[in-house]
Structure 1
Amino acid sequence: MEFATFILAAQRGYHQSSESVIRNSIEQAVASEQAGFNTAWFAEHHFNNYSLIPSPLMMVAHCAGLTSTIRLGTAVCVLPLYQPQRLLSEIGFADIVANGRLELGVGLGYQQFEFERFGVDIDEAPAVFSEYLDIILKGLNQNVFEHDGQYEKIPPTAISVRTVQQPTPPIWIAGGAARMARAYREGHNFFVTAFHDGLETLTTLRESVERAAASEEKNVTDVKISLLRCCYASHDELEINSYLDNARF
């Protein structure tokens, strides 16, 4: 079992400047390494104070220069909001400056108001995600690739900025049962989330994972699974209650 931190960069009120929130989030990544965590994950959100990280790859690249051992991950790059050709070069760049410490998490997104402001139809997000992940995998695995799909048509193209980790950084997928099944089918890792829910939610998640693995005739342990939980360790009840208030946010 490995332990990681998930850095959301939430701005709880306008008494906090965006600068202070982002700098605090960077400090969290550095502190995570000092505390012995395996990975620091960075969220992606837009147009709200729920999260002030518009580009998790930018956070990876910046925090790479302030750390040396902790792995740095995107949780997640919302693929339907990207141009995959450009994202490929940014993935390579981030892995280079991180000295091969990038963990690449991708997802399809879920906040409709974000999609509306980018002019992307959220109803098409599952199909767009699937095709864009195909493109990302082609670009990472092939020196020259091309693609002829529903959403993108790419002539023979070389991505010059190659990842340090070959053939690809570890890839993590967020999403529902269909994405879990694809993760098992192609050998990717995946995220599941329970936040602060109890054993009933965890049992349901476990059953979903078992079904996804069985559908591809795989063992549950054939890939890594990241479970997001809210937790806080302290002997101080006031500190714990303060944390719970933040967790509810």
Structure 2
Amino acid sequence: MQFATFILATQRGYHQTSDSVIHDAIEQTVLSEQAGFDTAWFAEHHFNNYSLVPSPLMMVAHCAGLTKRIRLGTAVCVLPLYQPQRLLAEIGFADVVSNGRLELGVGSGYQQFEFERFGVNIDNAPAVFSEYLDIVLKGLSQKIFSHSGQFMQIPPTAISVRTIQKPSPPIWIATGSPSSMRRAYRERHNLLVTALHNGLETLGALRGMIQEAAAAEFKSPGDAKISLLRCCYASADGAEINR
């Protein structure tokens, strides 16, 4: 078992400035490495104070210069909100400046108001995610690639900045969907999953879903790495914990 820090960079109140929240998140990353954590993951959100990180790859690139060992991950890049060709170059750049420490987490997104403000139809998010992931996989594995799909047409294209990790950084799919879980096992990706604040019953159901997805692809659950997000708050003050 490995342990990681998921850094949301929440602005809990307007008594906190945005720059203090971001610098605290960076300091938390440095301290996570010193404490022996294996990975620091950075969220992506927009237009709210739930998370002040608009680009997890920018956090990876910045924290790469302040750390040496800890792996740095995106949790997640919301693929339907990206242009995949540009994202591919930024993935390569982040892996280069981190000396091959990038963990690439991707997801379809879920916050409707974010999609509305980007002019993207959230109803199409699962299908767009699937197609854009196809494009990302092509761009990571092929020096020149093209794509003809429902949402994107790309002529023969070369991505100049290539990742250090071959054939690509580890790819993690954030999902609670059986079909996406099956894809992860089928294509040898990893899983980012959560039971949110729920307890053992929800965790058991999640485990069952993972087992069924693996079996459907003639795999065992252990054929993929599984990152389970659990929420915690550390304090000696019970009232503070509850609040």
1:224 paired residue number: 225
1:242 paired residue number: 240
- Maintained 8 Å contact 2:44/2:51: yes
- Which runs of at least 4 in structure 1 moved beyond 2 Å after TM superposition? 231-234, 240-245
Counterpart Cα distance in 2 of 1:72 and 1:213: 27
Q: Which blocks of at least 5 consecutive residues in structure 2 are unaligned?
A: none
TM-score, normalisation: structure 1: 0.95
What SS does the corresponding residue of 2:227 show, helix, strand or coil? strand
Counterpart Cα distance in 1 of 2:239 and 2:71: 30
Amino acid at match of 1:217: F
TM-score, normalisation: structure 2: 0.97
2:12 paired residue number: 12
Counterpart Cα distance in 1 of 2:196 and 2:239: 16
Counterpart Cα distance in 2 of 1:36 and 1:138: 34
Counterpart Cα distance in 1 of 2:16 and 2:124: 36
1:241–1:212 CA distance, 2 compared to 1 (3 A): farther
1:25 paired residue number: 25
Counterpart Cα distance in 1 of 2:136 and 2:240: 41
Counterpart Cα distance in 2 of 1:157 and 1:230: 41
Deviation of 1:232 after TM superposition, in Å, equals 4.3
1:181 paired residue number: 182
Question: Equivalences for 1:144-183 in 2 at 5 Å?
Answer: 144-175=144-175, 176-183=177-184
Amino acid at match of 1:26: I
Q: Alignment RMSD, CA only?
A: 1.0
Amino acid at match of 2:31: A
2:95 paired residue number: 95
What SS does the corresponding residue of 1:169 show, helix, strand or coil? coil
1:171-207 deviation line (CA, Å, top 9, x unaligned): 0001221111100000000111023321101101001
Counterpart Cα distance in 1 of 2:55 and 2:179: 25
Counterpart Cα distance in 1 of 2:178 and 2:114: 23
1:68-112 deviation line (CA, Å, top 9, x unaligned): 000000000000000000000000000000000000000000000
Counterpart Cα distance in 1 of 2:229 and 2:171: 17
- Maintained 8 Å contact 2:181/2:191: yes
What SS does the corresponding residue of 2:195 show, helix, strand or coil? strand
Amino acid at match of 1:116: E
1:124-155 deviation line (CA, Å, top 9, x unaligned): 00000000000000000001100011111111
- Maintained 8 Å contact 2:186/2:217: yes
1:243–1:31 CA distance, 2 compared to 1 (3 A): farther
1:108 paired residue number: 108
Counterpart Cα distance in 1 of 2:5 and 2:240: 18
Deviation of 1:241 after TM superposition, in Å, equals 4.2
1:67 paired residue number: 67
Amino acid at match of 1:53: V
- Maintained 8 Å contact 2:146/2:154: yes
